[in-house]
């Protein structure tokens, strides 16, 4: 099948449509975040991605489309899976394969916009991204802060090399390194902003050490996204965001509509032993939302806390 060459007008229209969708889905996003999605292309960073059909992970390439519908797919407000069990979409057989779980992806734009808005990146901020993936998020960070002050790290040479090349080809020159998520990138520290899009059980010590006092850390912790401010004493404290890049889904005799409630799914993750008891407890505490919870992360101990209107405080150690 012949590759479709998209015109600049088609690409600009697709980017503009995505920016409008991101702004519509967001909760009072900063104009500079929406502007980043308008000005930074997505399609060069996801030349091939997976679609799941009838249990198969199928690679979708631009060559598979005879019109501009490929652009519509790439610029849709959804996550694009680019690696399954370490197999990159570019390397997958045309007929796909069964089984496996996503190990790298381009995040859903509207949720990514919420993370970037919470990160509050300003020009000149020193920024560390944990999990380079396709490189698209790093490109957005470069647009917001400037390439010279952005560092991004991922776990494999393949991810790092591909992302570095794509970023360079599109005019972005951040520092791209291979590193474990928990290690951060000490050579570029201290950072004013640290962003992670993949969940961690607790904030790694390296992130606390590498974040400057007054800096922000935005990362999924305990099933929800936390926004923390680094304090002068070495701790980072903050709250959870209302939105989340993926809600936990549980299965039990309890009504599935209740389990789909993001407020309860967060509470249930804090009470994993007995789901029905967790539901009763959640109701007894007047259905607290996750943005009402706090997270305190120190070098030696970390905990999630909730203070009820009557002053009663509950804590869960991480």
Residue 19 near residue 4, CB atoms below 8 Å: no
177 shares its domain with 189: yes
Q: Does the pLDDT of residue 243 top 90, yes or no?
A: no
79 shares its domain with 53: yes
pLDDT band at 50 (very low <50, low <70, confident <90, very high): very high
- The domain tally of the chain equals 2
Per the domain annotation, does 121 fall within a domain?
yes
Catalytic-labelled residue, pool 7, 54, 104, 105: 105
184 shares its domain with 236: yes
Alpha carbon 133 to its chain centroid, in Å, reads 10
Digit-coded pLDDT (tens) for 182-220: 999 999 999 999 999 889 999 999 999 999 999 999 999
Distance CA(67)–CA(76), nearest Å, equals 16
Q: Does the pLDDT of residue 222 top 90, yes or no?
A: no
121 shares its domain with 229: yes
Distance CA(227)–CA(93), nearest Å, equals 40
105 is catalytic: yes
Distance CA(210)–CA(300), nearest Å, equals 16
pLDDT band at 115 (very low <50, low <70, confident <90, very high): very high
Per the domain annotation, does 210 fall within a domain?
yes
Structural domain for 16, as ranges: 8-106
51 shares its domain with 167: no
Q: How far apart are the first and last CA of the chain?
A: 52
Give the per-residue pLDDT at 1: 37
123 shares its domain with 95: no
Q: Does the pLDDT of residue 123 top 90, yes or no?
A: yes
56 shares its domain with 131: no
> 281: burial class by Cβ within 10 Å (0-12, 13-18, 19+)?
middle
pLDDT band at 302 (very low <50, low <70, confident <90, very high): very high
155 shares its domain with 77: no
Residue 244 near residue 220, CB atoms below 8 Å: yes
> 316: burial class by Cβ within 10 Å (0-12, 13-18, 19+)?
middle
Bridge partner residues of 50 (DSSP): 59, 81
Digit-coded pLDDT (tens) for 249-292: 333 334 445 556 888 989 999 988 889 999 999 999 999 999 99
Give the per-residue pLDDT at 4: 53
Digit-coded pLDDT (tens) for 142-188: 999 999 999 999 999 999 999 999 999 999 999 999 999 999 999 99
Q: For the residues 59-75, what does the mean pLDDT come to?
A: 86
Distance CA(214)–CA(52), nearest Å, equals 43
Per the domain annotation, does 268 fall within a domain?
no
CATH of the domain at 173: 3.40.50.150
Give the per-residue pLDDT at 239: 97
Per the domain annotation, does 78 fall within a domain?
yes
Per the domain annotation, does 227 fall within a domain?
yes
Per the domain annotation, does 291 fall within a domain?
no
152 shares its domain with 30: no
> 271: burial class by Cβ within 10 Å (0-12, 13-18, 19+)?
middle
Task: Work out the angle at residue 273's Cα, subtended by the Cα atoms of residues 269 and 275, and round it to the nearest 5 degrees.
Answer: 70
16 shares its domain with 98: yes
Using the 3D structure, point to which of 106, 122, 144 is the last residue of a domain: 106
pTM over 0.75: yes
Per the domain annotation, does 189 fall within a domain?
yes
- Give me the chain's average pLDDT, please: 91
Per the domain annotation, does 217 fall within a domain?
yes
Query: Which of 19-33, 55-69, 235-249 is the most confident on average?
Result: 19-33
84 shares its domain with 153: no
Using the 3D structure, point to which of 220, 245, 270 is the last residue of a domain: 245
Q: Two tokens at 221?
A: 């912790």
Residue 241 neighbours by CB under 8 Å, 6+ apart: 114, 115, 118, 224, 225, 226, 227, 291
147 shares its domain with 98: no
Using the 3D structure, point to which of 214, 245, 276 is the last residue of a domain: 245
Q: Does the pLDDT of residue 247 top 60, yes or no?
A: no
């Amino acid at each position: 099948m012949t590759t479709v060459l998209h015109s600049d007008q088609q690409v600009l229209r697709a980017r503009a449509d995505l920016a409008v969708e991101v702004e519509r889905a967001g909760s009072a996003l900063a104009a500079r975040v929406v502007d980043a999605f308008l000005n930074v292309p997505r399609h060069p960073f996801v030349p091939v991605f997976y679609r799941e059909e009838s249990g198969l992970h199928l690679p979708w390439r631009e060559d598979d489309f005879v019109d501009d519908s490929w652009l519509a797919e790439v610029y849709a407000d959804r996550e694009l899976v680019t690696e399954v069990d370490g197999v990159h979409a570019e390397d997958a057989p045309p007929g796909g394969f069964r089984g496996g779980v996503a190990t790298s992806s381009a995040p859903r734009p509207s949720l990514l916009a919420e993370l970037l808005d919470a990160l509050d990146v300003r020009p000149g901020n020193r920024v560390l991204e944990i999990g380079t993936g396709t490189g698209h998020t790093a490109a957005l960070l470069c647009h917001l802060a400037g390439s010279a002050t952005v560092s991004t790290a991922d776990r494999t040479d393949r991810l790092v090399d591909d992302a570095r090349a794509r970023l360079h080809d599109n005019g972005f020159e951040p520092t791209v390194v291979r590193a474990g998520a928990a290690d951060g990138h000490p050579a570029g520290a201290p950072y004013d902003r640290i962003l992670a899009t993949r969940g961690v059980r607790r904030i790694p010590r390296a992130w606390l050490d590498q974040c400057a006092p007054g800096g922000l850390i935005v990362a999924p912790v305990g099933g929800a996204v936390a926004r923390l401010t680094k304090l002068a004493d070495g701790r980072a404290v903050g709250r959870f965001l209302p939105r989340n890049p993926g809600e936990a889904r549980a299965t039990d005799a309890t009504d599935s509509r209740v389990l789909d409630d993001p407020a309860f799914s967060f509470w249930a993750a804090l009470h994993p032993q007995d789901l029905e008891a967790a539901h009763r407890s959640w109701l007894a505490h007047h259905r607290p939302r996750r943005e009402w919870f706090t997270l305190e992360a120190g070098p030696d101990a970390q905990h999630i806390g909730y203070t009820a209107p009557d002053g009663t405080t509950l804590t869960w150690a991480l």
